Amino acid sequence: MQRTLVNETPEKVGQEVLLKGWVSTRRDHGKLIFIDLRDRSGLVQVVCGDQAKGGTGRYFPKDLRTEWVVEISGMVKERPIKLINEKLLTGKIEIEAKEIKVIAQSEELPFDTGLPVLNASLPMVLDYRPLSLRHPRNKAVFQVQETIISSFRETLKKEGFTEIQVPTIVPTATEGGSQVFKIKYFDAEAFLGQSPQLYKQIMVGVFERVFTLAHAYRAEPSVTTRHMTEYLGLDAEMGFIDDFQDIMDMVEKVVKNMFERVEKERSEELAIFSATVPKISEKIPCMKMREAQQVIFERTGRDNRNEPDLEPEDEREICRFSLEKYDSELIFITHYPTKKRPFYTYADPKDPEFTNSFDLLGRGLEWVTGGQRINEYQKLLDNIKKWGNKPEDFDLYLQAFKYGMPPEGGFCLGAERITMQILGLENIREASLFPRDMERIDKKLSVKKVEK
Amino acid sequence: MQRTLVNETPEKVGQEVLLKGWVSTRRDHGKLIFIDLRDRSGLVQVVCGDQAKGGTGRYFPKDLRTEWVVEISGMVKERPIKLINEKLLTGKIEIEAKEIKVIAQSEELPFDTGLPVLNASLPMVLDYRPLSLRHPRNKAVFQVQETIISSFRETLKKEGFTEIQVPTIVPTATEGGSQVFKIKYFDAEAFLGQSPQLYKQIMVGVFERVFTLAHAYRAEPSVTTRHMTEYLGLDAEMGFIDDFQDIMDMVEKVVKNMFERVEKERSEELAIFSATVPKISEKIPCMKMREAQQVIFERTGRDNRNEPDLEPEDEREICRFSLEKYDSELIFITHYPTKKRPFYTYADPKDPEFTNSFDLLGRGLEWVTGGQRINEYQKLLDNIKKWGNKPEDFDLYLQAFKYGMPPEGGFCLGAERITMQILGLENIREASLFPRDMERIDKKLSVKKVEK
């Protein structure tokens, strides 16, 4: 008999089906046992009756436990109206078990997986990641993440971008040596890339518009709820821009399609977190960093008007302001100071102390960062020196500009960060299947010293 | 005036357009100069006439050189019939230049980019990667690669697979310590993953069917035309298989859709290489390794019938045999010896010396490798020990099986390897934007010793 997926059962009322999956929960009601069976398509209720007590089931699963893998053959029956579960896709039917075959057993679980939220600390959840990810709430995070990533690709493909693959092993620590992981590379040394930035810029010379999904690595020796040592960057770069407004317009297309698709395809998952995608205005509002600081000063009396960046508290305040004034949970902040941005950032010709760069803030945090880049070879070379770097470390990168590069710019989103922000998660680790930080790679790191 | 893309010009005959792009080639014909203008959508011929010599052009681009970035406004005109270029999408029209604005200049090129194939050695091509990638032939490789990758995702999404993101920093060198790159990870040490194998298996417990695009790293101290130290694996894993035939059937779906899409969407690029996608029979033929060795013995007299693996020459011979006998350039070889496969490989219950594993060979090389995995916790634990590994290094992995895992298996394709094989490239480095090997990370490695 061919397997039926759980989500196909509602169309098979009155038919016998063969289901395969995991026992998600089991409830004993005397002569009846109820099993929630889980497969990749959903959950369905299975009723097992004890023959000895007058039930119809041939196998009464007294010893069957949570997470056991089973094959169940049975009859699809409509539920009595008062027992319909509207929340469940299969809530109008149930399976009357005829036979249950155990495929694999499970050892006793370290926590109760039947609760709406696991009653376990984050370290425990991570210690038992293969199990905790099976829980509907944890699993939902990565279903939403898949849609986020797939919508990013979809929007940009439509806009004429080419998807590229860039390496993560890099020859030099281009963005500051101390926060870079070092690799023993045969007899030489190499590093883990902090972003695909230089490669995506090079590729503008080839495909004009490119995007890439690239692992990025930061050896920051601190543990926060918003940072990991390895994360997934959703990176894009585009040539022949008229202005850096073009880049922000592209970001807007990306996030709008993202929110639409998450809302449409992942409503069940959003509901688990009581989450909604951010409200945005017809056009996402936009203001300069100095204007934002002025607004913050006027609203709170906090005078950061000469600071070179927004403080976390400033970012939260300006998001509140945006929601109140523009009815938008997202807002672009532009023109960050030249000194605070990387060497390749394009200075505003009208005010070179500030750059044609932007952050997209939402719900109090940075969602996207981007800007226009310097596309003139000589200016780029000068800036590399000015920022204290060695031009020979940027040989390959500089070539792209030496041989003709149009005005260009781009942006980057962190996949885990966006997932966290859409679902309102407390810790970014919840948005990574196997999060890496200073203290953990799968399990807590034992303090094992490296040979020096 | 709004920009027109090159591939939109044929529909704008008689209209004035604004084009933006790179000067791909320039040909001087006395009072006329012909420019091939390149943008992300294609190539178009631009005719510039010298006013002084009676031409219509306002700007006669005497100094304009290859790879300069320009904006050209001009009129779209039909070409005289005898000048139509059928090979070019825009071959029926040309642009009569009115004005040319130089956006960015290029320095002198290290080689002539106007030839059908660059006249430069592979090291030189790689030394000048940002420039050499702009050449239509080199660029085409990555357009084909994009389609390969996107077709892989498409097939598996349709088959109910979830795309997952797995880390590349791993805590232990699980597949042999010597060929693994070591990372200095704060005060501890970590490694670069050799494959997403263990993580994708874990995720079968969560999503049943998963795939991932994962960078994989091999510190093999050798330089061949078929290996790099960093490559992109297209990995899939599926639960609730009846037999390992199910996995091969899935591989077949993946490659068939891949070939169809490459043929349909990338015919121009295939033509550049005079390449065709492999011919395959209705059902890809399949034979056991021992049977293949017998066939090779009978065909060539070479007696490798007791060898534990196929030699490269054997792989080429069995591919010739497959083409002759089954009219298929691809063939599955199954049942490799248990000793030669990793600890998680499922032994054939009828003959435990051999495994339920397979390679898909094509055009003399391995294209895909895969097989059924052990899904019983105790058996897996025993095998880890038997293979000389420490169970505590596999804690997280083992949990997935401890808490109930159905029969499962999966497969892996190397993105660069497949690209190379479809296009008939001589060296896998041509199929990587920025290839890494023992001797090169962007530029040739200087022999800089690591501190010990």
- CB contacts of B170 in chain A (<8 Å) are 441-442
More reliable by pLDDT, B20 or A49: B20
pLDDT for A320 equals 98
For an interface test with A, give the residue of B2, B3, B4, B40 to mutate (most A CBs within 10 A). B40
Shared-domain flag, residues B96 and B154: no
Judged by a CB distance cut-off of 8 A, whether residue A38 touches chain B is no
CA–CA min distance B255, chain A (Å): 20
pLDDT tens digits, A117-174: 999 999 999 999 999 999 999 999 999 999 999 999 999 999 999 999 999 999 988 7
Instruction: For residue B69, give the chain A residue with the closest CA.
Output: A404
Comparing C-alpha atoms, which of A374, A373, A284, A378 is closest to residue A333? A284
Q: Residue A367: which residues within 8 A CB-CB, separation 6 or more?
A: A255, A330, A359, A360, A361, A413, A417, A418, A421
Tell me how far apart the alpha carbons of residues B240 and A169 are, in angstroms, rounded to a whole number.
37
The residues facing A155 across adjacent strands are none
B-contacting residues of A 137-166, CB under 8 Å?
Answer: 139, 142-143, 145-146, 149-150, 160, 162-166
In a domain, A237, yes or no: yes
**Alpha carbon distances (Å) from B363 to A149, A382, B246, B326, B424:** 35, 50, 24, 14, 9
Shared-domain flag, residues B100 and B172: no
From A27-36, A246-255, A278-287, B421-430, the region with the lowest mean pLDDT: A27-36
Comparing C-alpha atoms, which of B412, B409, B413 is closest to residue B243? B409
Tell me how far apart the alpha carbons of residues B173 and B185 are, in angstroms, rounded to a whole number.
14
Q: Token pair for residue B45? A: 């011929």
Helix intervals (H) in B374-426: 377-386, 395-402, 415-423
Shared-domain flag, residues B54 and B188: no
Q: Residue A270: which residues within 8 A CB-CB, separation 6 or more?
A: A144, A262, A263, A276, A277, A423
Tell me how far apart the alpha carbons of residues A168 and A189 are, in angstroms, rounded to a whole number.
14
State what percent of residues in chain A have pLDDT above 70: 95
Strand order of the sheet with strand B440-441? B436-437, B440-441, B443-444
Residue count of chain B, please give it. 452
Shared-domain flag, residues B176 and B261: yes
A340 burial via Cβ count (<10 Å: 0-12, 13-18, 19+): middle
* Owner of token pair 């020459």: B313
How much is the pTM?
A: 0.95
In a domain, B1, yes or no: no
ipTM, interface predicted TM-score of the complex: 0.95
In a domain, B431, yes or no: yes
Shared-domain flag, residues A64 and A206: no
Tell me how far apart the alpha carbons of residues B132 and B138 are, in angstroms, rounded to a whole number.
7
pLDDT for B451 equals 42
The residues facing A235 across adjacent strands are A212, A412
Report whether A186 contacts B438 (CB < 8 A).
yes
The residues of chain B scoring below 70 in pLDDT are 50-60, 175-178, 447-452
A139, B442: Cβ pair inside 8 Å?
A: no
B405, A199: Cβ pair inside 8 Å?
A: no
The count of other CB atoms within 10 Å of the CB of residue B391 is 13
Judged by a CB distance cut-off of 8 A, whether residue A64 touches chain B is no
The whole-chain average pLDDT of chain A stands at 94
B448 burial via Cβ count (<10 Å: 0-12, 13-18, 19+): exposed
Residue B30, helix vs strand vs coil:
coil
In a domain, A350, yes or no: no
* Owner of token pair 């194939």: B117
List the domain range (segments joined by +) for residue B435.
127-278+363-442
Shared-domain flag, residues A60 and A145: no
State what percent of residues in chain A have pLDDT above 90: 87
In a domain, B315, yes or no: no
Comparing C-alpha atoms, which of A104, A10, A2, A101 is closest to residue A57? A101
pLDDT for A450 equals 44
Tell me how far apart the alpha carbons of residues A189 and A185 are, in angstroms, rounded to a whole number.
5
Tell me how far apart the alpha carbons of residues A32 and A252 are, in angstroms, rounded to a whole number.
54
Q: Residue A344: which residues within 8 A CB-CB, separation 6 or more?
A: A197, A201, A373, A374, A380, A383
CATH of the domain at A382: 3.30.930.10
Q: Structural domain tally of chain B?
A: 2
- CB contacts of B5 in chain A (<8 Å) are 160
Q: Residue A321: which residues within 8 A CB-CB, separation 6 or more?
A: A295, A296, A299, A331
Shared-domain flag, residues A39 and A98: yes
The last residue of one of the domains, among A104, A137, A160, is A104
Report whether A131 contacts B399 (CB < 8 A).
yes
The dihedral of CA B324, B326, B332, B334: what is its sign? negative
| DSSP string covering B210-225 | EEEEEEEE---S---S
In a domain, B219, yes or no: yes
CATH of the domain at B88: 2.40.50.140
Shared-domain flag, residues B234 and B369: yes
B446, A188: Cβ pair inside 8 Å?
A: yes
The count of other CB atoms within 10 Å of the CB of residue A266 is 22
Shared-domain flag, residues B270 and B201: yes
Q: Token pair for residue B180? A: 């693994």
pLDDT for A255 equals 98
Name the phi and psi angles at A73, rounded to 5: -105, 140
* Owner of token pair 């023993």: A184
Name the phi and psi angles at B115, rounded to 5: -85, 155
Shared-domain flag, residues B92 and B144: no
pLDDT for A317 equals 98
Q: Token pair for residue B310? A: 């196929």
Q: Token pair for residue A269? A: 């998952």
- Encode A417-450: b = buried (16+ Cβ within 10 Å), e = exposed: bbbbbbbebeebbbbbbbbbbbebbbeebeeeee
Comparing C-alpha atoms, which of A332, A327, A343, A282 is closest to residue A310? A332
Tell me how far apart the alpha carbons of residues B337 and B317 are, in angstroms, rounded to a whole number.
20
B185, A441: Cβ pair inside 8 Å?
A: yes
What's B178's DSSP letter? G
Q: If DSSP states are collapsed to H, E and C, what string results for chain A?
A: CCECCHHHHHHHCCCEEEEEEEEEEEEEECCEEEEEEEECCEEEEEEEECHHHCCCCCCCCCCCCCCCEEEEEEEEEECCHHHCCCCCCCCCEEEEEEEEEEEECECCCCCCCCCCCCCCCHHHHHHCHHHHCCCHHHHHHHHHHHHHHHHHHHHHHHCCCEECCCCCEECCCCCCHHHCCEEEECCEEEEECCCCHHHHHHHHHHHCEEEEEEEEECCCCCCCCCCCCEEEEEEEEEECCCCCHHHHHHHHHHHHHHHHHHHHHCHHHHHHCCCCCCCCCCCCCEEEHHHHHHHHHHHHCCCCCCCCCCCHHHHHHHHHHHHHHHCCCEEEEECCEHHHCCCCECEECCEEEEECEEEEEECCEEEEEEEEECCCHHHHHHHHHHCCCCHHHHHHHHHHHHECCCCEEEEEEEHHHHHHHHHCCCCHHHHCCCCEECCEECEECCCCCCCC
Comparing C-alpha atoms, which of A270, A159, A208, A264 is closest to residue B37? A208
Tell me how far apart the alpha carbons of residues B65 and B45 are, in angstroms, rounded to a whole number.
15
Instruction: For residue B192, give the chain A residue with the closest CA.
Output: A183
Tell me how far apart the alpha carbons of residues A157 and A327 are, in angstroms, rounded to a whole number.
30
Q: Where does residue B363 fall: left (phi above 0), alpha (psi -120 to 50 degrees), or beta otherwise?
A: left
B68, A404: Cβ pair inside 8 Å?
A: yes
- CB contacts of A168 in chain B (<8 Å) are 168, 215, 230
pLDDT for B173 equals 80
Shared-domain flag, residues A383 and A246: yes
The last residue of one of the domains, among B104, B119, B152, is B104
Tell me how far apart the alpha carbons of residues A355 and A371 are, in angstroms, rounded to a whole number.
8
CA–CA min distance B317, chain A (Å): 33
pLDDT tens digits, B191-227: 999 999 999 999 999 999 999 999 999 998 888 999 9
Tell me how far apart the alpha carbons of residues B132 and B128 are, in angstroms, rounded to a whole number.
6
A202, B396: Cβ pair inside 8 Å?
A: no
pLDDT for B449 equals 43
Report whether B78 contacts B85 (CB < 8 A).
no
Shared-domain flag, residues B396 and B437: yes
The yes-or-no verdict on residue A386 having pLDDT over 50 is yes
Identity of the amino acid at A265? E
From A3-7, A379-383, A428-432, B222-226, the region with the lowest mean pLDDT: B222-226
pLDDT tens digits, A62-100: 788 999 999 999 999 999 999 999 888 899 999 999 999
In a domain, A452, yes or no: no
Task: Considering only the beta carbons, identify the residue of B40, B183, B447 that sits closest to A187.
Answer: B447
In a domain, A303, yes or no: no
Comparing C-alpha atoms, which of B182, B154, B152, B151 is closest to residue B169? B182
* Owner of token pair 């009569």: B96
What's B95's DSSP letter? E
